[in-house]
Chain A
Amino acid sequence: MKKYEELNYYEALEIPFGASPFEISQAYKDALSIYNEDSLITYSFFDESERGLILKKIEKAFLTLIDPIERGKYDRMLVRTGEADESILIKKDRKKPISLFQGNHPKNRGLHLKKIRKKVEAEDMKTLSKEIITGDVVSGADLKKLRESVGIDLEEIFEVTRINIPILKSIEENEFEKLPPIIYLKNFLKSYSDTLQLDSNTIIDGYIKNMTRHRESA
């Protein structure tokens, strides 16, 4: 049986060589709860100096193993002294911490964009837009017609532009009262037309003209 002073950092924290950062911090917390000076279990077990040494070791073990660079150095040292097998240097299987905000990134944005591009390229967008958009006014219905004629869903537009579907619908249905302030609307129209590879300036100007015309008449 090994003496406490001879335990390596993994043994001191009671974790396997491949432990993930989460396991390491969990083990560190557990160890502190045992060796802490107000711990019910050990307050009578060690004297101050013994406890001090143990806590120092736990601290050092945690700080070394939680830092990837220090851990790498330590692992190589263990391999050199023959305490561990070389396989511990391969980090492939080691679990990584889950990144924050993982859910917020549109994962397949590129994929959707590619799909849309393919559909758009299959049709002749320029002639189509000339057929549908007559004059210098662009209505929501025109945009909807354009989108549907190349077979693209609102959901796909959303996946690429991250503009809410209700807003996209309001744009296409000419529900002007539900639209955001003009500065946002301009940006939304820009990403919408970029996605469909339309000339964004024509679309923005035309749409706003249509909107003001509606407001004046109302």
Chain B
Amino acid sequence: MSQTYPIGGGKGGSGKSFITANLGVLFAKQGKKVVLVDLDLGGSNLHTFLNLRNPERGLNDFLNKDCKNLDDVAVPTAIPNLSLISSTNCSHEIGNLFHTQKLKIIRAIKDLSYDYTLLDLGAGTIFNVLDFFLISNEGLFIITPEPTSIENTFQFIKAVYLRKIKQVLKQRAFNTFVKKLQTTTNKSIIRSPMELVEMVSKYNPERGKRLQDELEKFEFTFIINQFRKETDVTMGSKIEKLCNKHFFANFQFLGNIRYDERVHDSIYSRSIYMNKYPYSITAVDLQNVAGKITKIHQHHALQSVT
């Protein structure tokens, strides 16, 4: 069964690309067929984490129709079973993707037939990022234990929710409900997507129910990256509790990934961290996280069979 994991988290520099690359390496070493897609459009550097200087093919060849299938632009990496779809050879304006191009990419990603498809997303909450994140219900958030990162993560989650609500309700109904909520609460902006869900449920229970069902399908996971020894160890479980209580969805904490100076060394020397330091504490943490994801994956596979 193929599984797509969008990897996002709002804040830049939290380690999304690093974790995408190294989780990809770990899954590939399990013997799974893995593809990494660099969707940090306009800021792509996933190839550097995998020690590929200039991938000869990439997303650009797919967008300008040189290659028909997205699969054709995937390039192999030094790791067997692991390929990369890079966006480094795209134009400098790729950050402002056209709507039709975005839809084309999303459709093509859904058609990829790998065991694992990992999407490395950019920072921020622009629609492109949100829509890529919503390709699958199994989004993975990367958080670092700093106020700024946590703040951005919650902004990102809320933005993802609002985007999803918009997708389910369709534009017009979404706008009407937003207006209604603005007038009843006397607020100019909608900060909490949950209020909107409640609003919909109140005026149109059937639609509200459908919306809630749709949101409950989310099975988000998150990782705390750059975990240092002075960090509160209960932080992950607290965030998990908080999200499960206040969003209509399932959030699962996958674990802490400890901070390691050598991550920087490996980036400087453009080598694959997992290969260079396979026994460091950070590598062990990554392995644990990969193991947990594999378990969830197997669980899903079992469920889809029965």
Quote the shortest CB–CB distance from A67 to chain B (angstroms).
25
B235 on the A face (CB < 8 A): yes
B241 and A33 contacting across the interface, CB-CB below 8 Å: no
B216 and A44 contacting across the interface, CB-CB below 8 Å: no
Number of A-B contacts (CB under 8 A): 38
B238 and A45 contacting across the interface, CB-CB below 8 Å: no
B241 and A14 contacting across the interface, CB-CB below 8 Å: yes
Choose among A7, A34, A44, A50 the residue that contacts B154 (Cβ–Cβ < 8 A): A44
Q: Name the residue on A nearest B232 (C-beta).
A: A40
Cα separation A14 to B240 with both chains bound (whole Å)? 13
Cα separation A124 to B272 with both chains bound (whole Å)? 94
Interface centre among A33, A45, A47, A50 (most CB of B within 10 A): A45
A41 and B238 contacting across the interface, CB-CB below 8 Å: yes
B131 on the A face (CB < 8 A): no
B216 and A1 contacting across the interface, CB-CB below 8 Å: yes
A43 on the B face (CB < 8 A): yes
Cα separation A145 to B4 with both chains bound (whole Å)? 90
Quote the shortest CB–CB distance from B246 to chain A (angstroms).
6
Choose among B145, B147, B198, B241 the residue that contacts A44 (Cβ–Cβ < 8 A): B147
Known: A1-B212, A1-B216, A3-B198. Is A43-B242 also a contact (CB below 8 A)?
A: no
Q: Name the residue on A nearest B194 (C-beta).
A: A3
Cα separation A34 to B244 with both chains bound (whole Å)? 13
B248 and A41 contacting across the interface, CB-CB below 8 Å: no
A44 and B235 contacting across the interface, CB-CB below 8 Å: no
Q: What A residues does B242 contact at CB under 8 A? A: 34, 41-42, 45
> Which B positions have Cβ atoms within 8 angstroms of A?
145, 147, 150-151, 154-155, 191-192, 194, 198, 212, 216, 232, 234-235, 238-239, 241-242, 245-246, 248-249
20 A-B pairs in the complex with CB atoms less than 8 angstroms apart = A1-B212, A1-B216, A1-B248, A3-B194, A4-B246, A7-B245, A14-B241, A33-B238, A34-B238, A34-B241, A40-B232, A41-B239, A42-B242, A44-B150, A44-B154, A44-B155, A45-B242, A45-B246, A47-B191, A50-B192
